[in-house]
A and B are shown apart, each in its own frame.
Chain A
Amino acid sequence: MTPPRSPGFDTLSLHAGQQPDPTTGARATPIFQTAAYVFRDSDHAAALFNMERAGHVYSRISNPTTAVLEERIAALDGGVGAIATASGQAALHLAIATLAGAGSHVLASRALYGGSHNLLDYTLRRFGIETSFVDPRDLSAWRAGIRPNTRVLFAETLGNPGLDVLDIAGVAEIAHAAGLPLLVDSTFTTPYLLRPFDFGADLVCHSATKFLGGHGVAIGGLLVDSGAFDWERSGKFPELTEPYAGFHGMDFQEESTVAAFLLRARREGLRDFGACMAPFTAFQLLQGIETLSLRMDRHIANTRAIVAFLCEHKAVASVNYPELPTHPDHQLAKTMLPRGCGAVFTFEIQGGRAAGRKFIETLRLFSHLANVGDAKSLVIHPASTTHFRLDDTALRAAGIGPGTIRLSIGLEDSADLVDDLAQALRASQKL
């Protein structure tokens, strides 16, 4: 039987969560730059505070502009709702702080963004939340790593720095068999390339700073819930299935079958930790999402052109991109990422650290900085910047070579990007 045609991705990118403003007729999403909202009367106030009515009270908890962004990403990811946060880091923290406390354990991929690794391996440990790390490709390691006090499994859709493609269905099955949710960082893929919920993930976090915003102008994070995980059946999450004294004795799972996690995360984590998103940031990210598919298609097309160029270049020892048959996850990528494997990848330059440094310094169009997912092309050489203190052996242990270059491919004319890379590669080999 043919399913009915629901609104498509591009339509949702433009319309989900927003309609012309009922008061002013504004077609674009207005920036509701207000800290608080007037109550109609005392009963209305009490009802809003007690979740008897839906609405806004204070912009740390919710705001009409950020709510549009939250609903839009939920629609695109196929979830029930979302919470916008001050950064991608704040989204990850909110997810973990909602599910875990002192004495809890997180089982995470070892192929993570450095900031996420810092949060898990150092900072949360100080608050009594322990994390152990596994090779994301090793399903038996995931299975063996689960402990009685594990509360969540966490990995990135495309791991750092090797672009390990996460077998979401495989890891989700292991998590669910243990009564645990799988949280996935989908920053590199965005819902246009991959919808983790379709493969069994339960929660998704994004650094919206990257491809969702797409222009490198706003820091923001998003935490999305599939609404599919059965917290009651798991029995491991009293925060969601027993009365919470901090919010009128509410049992969030009773209150809402599919919204329990986000209700608790907003009513506790956003309320108390306070890492909310500013409405102007939400507006900027919405502007980015309106053109997400157009931009991602161009990011991918440019990336493919540059990968092909680098693969043929004699100054390049290897290229690490999952669409290449040499990548260990090539087959998985073909199944899970048919639209493309993102626009961030690494290659090894011949000549090690010195060649890498020269290459970076000779580039003209590529910007040398620590970010990805901008409309402009970006580059970084870890051995001479973020990891400059490590010797070659320590670098290898982190999955990085002395000549590893990471590129984030932007939206420029691909021929100009190729020309820029060609001249810098030439220069790098003349040392």
Chain B
Amino acid sequence: MAIQLEVGGHTAWAYTGGKSFDATLPVVLFLHGAEHDHSVWALQSRYLAHHGRSVLAVDLPGHGRSAGAPLVSIEALADWVVALLDAAGVAAATLVGHSMGSLIALECAARYPQRVSRVALIGTAFPMRVADELLTATRDDEPVAQAMVNLWSHSALAHYPGNPGPGFWVAGVNHRLMQRQKPGVMHSDFAACNAYTNGLTACGRITAPVLLVLGKRDVMTPPRAAKDMIAALPNAQVVEIEGAGHAIMAEKPDEALEALRAFIP
């Protein structure tokens, strides 16, 4: 099940976890990372939707089924999130973001404290600098950039269970999902991450409880790259997951879910 909302003059699409969206329930908004779409959250969002929450796993503008061009800054994406909450009739939501989505959640929580009740940052770091070679590749040679990111996102050649279920090749799912995004999206996303400078200021402003879920074998956003954020956050919990790389929800779907279940009332 899904809903479509008009946000910023374009149709925004959000998966609702197999249940009808109900703004009267506690709302959890999932924000995917660069060159991804809502389906990276399939298991976690579906579980929460069937356990007392109403979920919106969005496709960000220009990604998946959401129309329009990708937005070029984390700040613009944070504003888009609140516009989407307005369109959905949601006063306040828990934001769960992965990678680029974690920066959007962070900035949104700092800008709009009344609209964000909790923040879960998964596979996060600040600054989220992108190596020059990769950033250039996202612009000039998307297939090479996708291969780089796919290789660096995974910690192993086997996962128990596969994602979204047994028999799926986790790295293959991620690679194809990136290839299914429109040309130009990847560079826009990675450039937005690279250009975001307000992270520590945002951390200092956040009043909502914050959870960081970090993969111990993540080489894209390694746990050490979140240390400054953790120090700047007044109210942060940290969960480090053994054996997880950057693709935490795919490599360790149960552990990611357990961290969210414990954090989201």
A-to-B contact residues, CB < 8 Å: 1-4, 6-7, 11-12, 15-19, 22, 46-47, 50-56, 62-64, 66-68, 70-71, 74-75, 78-84, 226-228, 230, 232, 243, 248-251, 254-259, 262-263, 266
Contact = CB atoms under 8 A, between A and B. Distances in A.
Contacts of B141: 1
Nearest to B137: A1
Interface stretch (B74-82, B162-170, B222-230): B162-170
Given A18-B157, A50-B46, A249-B18, 5 more contacts: A3-B147, A66-B167, A67-B161, A81-B169, A243-B1
Interface residues of B, number: 49
Nearest to A265: B167
Contact of A80 (B15, B133, B172): B172
A63 to B, nearest CB: 8
A115 B253 CA distance: 41
Contact of B164 (A11, A68, A70, A263): A263
B158 A17 contact: yes
What does DSSP make chain A's interface, helix, strand, loop or mixed?
loop
26 contacts: A3-B147, A4-B147, A4-B148, A12-B157, A16-B158, A18-B157, A22-B160, A51-B43, A52-B50, A53-B47, A53-B257, A64-B160, A64-B166, A67-B161, A67-B166, A70-B166, A70-B167, A75-B171, A79-B169, A81-B162, A81-B172, A230-B180, A249-B18, A254-B1, A257-B64, A259-B39
B143 interface: yes
A248 B257 CA distance: 21
Interface of B: 1-2, 15, 18, 37, 39, 42-43, 46-47, 50, 64-65, 133, 136-137, 140-141, 143-144, 147-148, 150-152, 156-158, 160-173, 176-177, 179-180, 253-254, 257
Contacts of A64: 160, 166
Contacts, number: 168
A50 B166 CA distance: 14
A56 B172 contact: no
A257 B178 CA distance: 10
A255 B39 contact: yes
A250 B18 contact: yes
Nearest to A19: B158
B176 A258 contact: yes
Q: Sorted from nearest, which 6 A-B pairs have the closest CB atoms?
A: A81-B168, A70-B167, A52-B47, A74-B169, A227-B176, A62-B166
Nearest to B2: A254
A146 B29 CA distance: 44
Given A257-B177, A258-B177, A263 B18 contact: no
